[in-house]
Structure 1
């Protein structure tokens, strides 16, 4: 089998589960790891025959993809804001919506520089590490309740040569000795009722601890983080959230009731209410 035939096999086997275009992209990602080829190189090598070792590696990836396992877990890596991150089932896979949150923060600190940042619920560390790489003079801390997630985050900090102060604690009970210029969080926000809308590979392979809240108290973590920020933000400090698209109005009202000002609700590229910033 040559490379082009292999690509056609991937598309045929995966289109029913992922769609044709995504199946093509999955093959490109597999080729990037197995053969270290980009899309252009795939065209150049289209008629090249695969050796047994390569065939085995590609087939292993294909089998796992057919099970619905996320490609980032199969390859054990994901790209975020131009940086490579290790991912396991202990952390959420970094997503494009969170890149938009990073871009918003970066635009904000251009005119309002910050010297200290806390990322709450850091998971893979993608937010904290990306901010540190782009704001080298800023002290960045990252908190998570999961020891397994922090292990991955520390490995990613080493991988990306980013000096991060990691904190193992639960934000619902954490008392910080420090104050910060900026606090950011992408906390659990998906209600139990929303599970039926989610792709099976998310439910099966990503950590529920980082995803779900009860229907009765969907803003649990936002309220707790807001209360924490009231105490631990510097005067005129900023708070950024990634939010549940269905709870933008409720989140704004909660922050307003606690005394935050300059509250901005922002849509993502898909037109969904996805991010909030506010000032102390």
Structure 2
């Protein structure tokens, strides 16, 4: 038994959620392009497709992020798989990749490690842009690492993945560059209740410390970096919109030189770092 025409389904869903979201969900369910939706609005969905589409529309209406419903998101012009086990990639992180590639260019074969890799977007893109680099990635979540491995394989990136808590699985290894987008949102921050964040993994957003400032994971990264950097090695950390001064102070206090911050596309100081003399 046929379902409804895709044009009717799109109009019906657009009364409940944003039209663009409805269109993308419909394309996903019907396995068709935007052009197909326009040219063949009379094409009928199957009953199963109609049911699946209605389910996804209801979940989007309830606030679930579009990326989780589609199963993918774009970063640095590449499509990455995402699941509720990992954060959804955001354009803010592109400045971290840009600075990592810049720093890595100082060595012919830099050893680079991405701490708390999540979906693996940083490690994957850096490995692609720095073909001479030896890239590793660490995460405490096996579920996140499964997503990261799949993303690296999809894009042909050579990345070694390690399971563990921050520096623990690295042993005595040292690197020319450590990069990280760690949890940096303060527990209790009202932003955690908005914009789809309740659906994202809390462990990747906050350090879980009640009353904390969101700096605990950043401080662990800074304090442990000296044991895993070669002389002249760099540490680059993504952080919150209001944390750049604190991060720079911690870096300087720990002995890093040339400490600076770099702005994202919105003009916010989003990444800070320096090198260890």
| TM-score, scaled relative to structure 1 | 0.86
Aligned match of 2:269: 273
Q: C-alpha offsets along residues 170-227 of structure 1, whole Å, 9 cap, x if unaligned?
A: 1265553211111100011100231356416311x21111111233353222222112
> Which residue of structure 1 lines up, in the alignment, with residue 122 of structure 2?
127
Q: Are the counterparts in 1 of residues 136 and 160 from structure 2 also a CA contact under 8 Å?
A: yes
Instruction: Name the counterpart of 2:176.
Output: 181
1:79 aligns with 2:60: no
Identify the residue that residue 118 of structure 1 maps to in structure 2. Answer: 113
Q: Which has the higher helix share?
A: 1
Show the counterpart of 1:207.
201
Task: Describe the superposition over 1:20-79 as per-residue Cα deviations: whole angstroms up to 9, x where unpaired.
Answer: xxx233124224422344444433334544443432332222122122222222222222
Give the 3-state SS of the residue equivalent to 1:137 in structure 2. Answer: coil
The Cα of 1:93 is off from its aligned counterpart by 1.3
Query: What is residue 8 of structure 2 aligned with on the other side?
Result: 5
CA RMSD after TM alignment:
2.4
Structure 1: stretches of 5+ with no match in the other structure: 15-22
> How far 1:278 moved relative to its partner?
1.4
- Could you tell me which residue of structure 2 aligns to residue 34 of structure 1? 29
Equivalent positions of 1:52-71 (< 5 A) are 52-71=47-66
Distance 1:239 1:260 in 2: 9
For structure 1, which segment, 184-193 or 130-139, has the greater mean C-alpha deviation from structure 2 after superposition?
130-139
How far apart are the structure 2 equivalents of 1:206 and 1:192?
14
Unmatched 5+ residue regions in structure 2?
Answer: none
**Residues of 2 paired with 1:128 and 1:93: CA distance?**
15
Whether the 8 Å CA contact 1:86–1:152 is kept in 2: the answer is yes
Does structure 1 conserve the Cα–Cα contact (< 8 Å) formed by 2:104 and 2:110? Answer: no
Shift of 1:274: 1.2
Secondary structure at 1:191's aligned position in 2? coil
Flag the 1:141–1:238 CA change in 2: closer, same or farther, 3 A. Answer: same
Whole-Å separation in 2 of the counterparts to 1:3 and 1:108: 49
Of 91, 95, 103, which residue of structure 2 is paired with 1:100? Answer: 95
> Counterpart of 1:219?
215
Q: What is the alpha-carbon distance in structure 2 between the residues aligned to residue 33 and residue 251 of structure 1?
A: 41
Q: Structure 1 pair 200/96, CA: closer, same or farther in 2 (3 Å)?
A: closer
The change in CA–CA distance for 1:219 and 1:26 in structure 2 (over 3 A counts) is same
Say if 1:68 and 1:216 are closer, same or farther in 2 by CA, change over 3 A. Answer: closer
Going from structure 1 to structure 2, the CA distance change for 1:109 and 1:49 (only over 3 Å counts) comes to same
Aligned partners of 1:31 and 1:104: how far apart in 2?
38
Q: Deviations over 1:71-128 (max 9, x none)?
A: 2222222222233322222111111111332233234444655521100001111111
- Aligned position for 1:228: 224
- 1:242 positional shift: 0.8
* TM-score (norm. length: structure 2): 0.87
SS at match of 2:85: coil
Give a deviation string over 1:207-260, Cα, whole Å, max 9, x none.
Answer: 111111233353222222112221211222221111011111111111011111
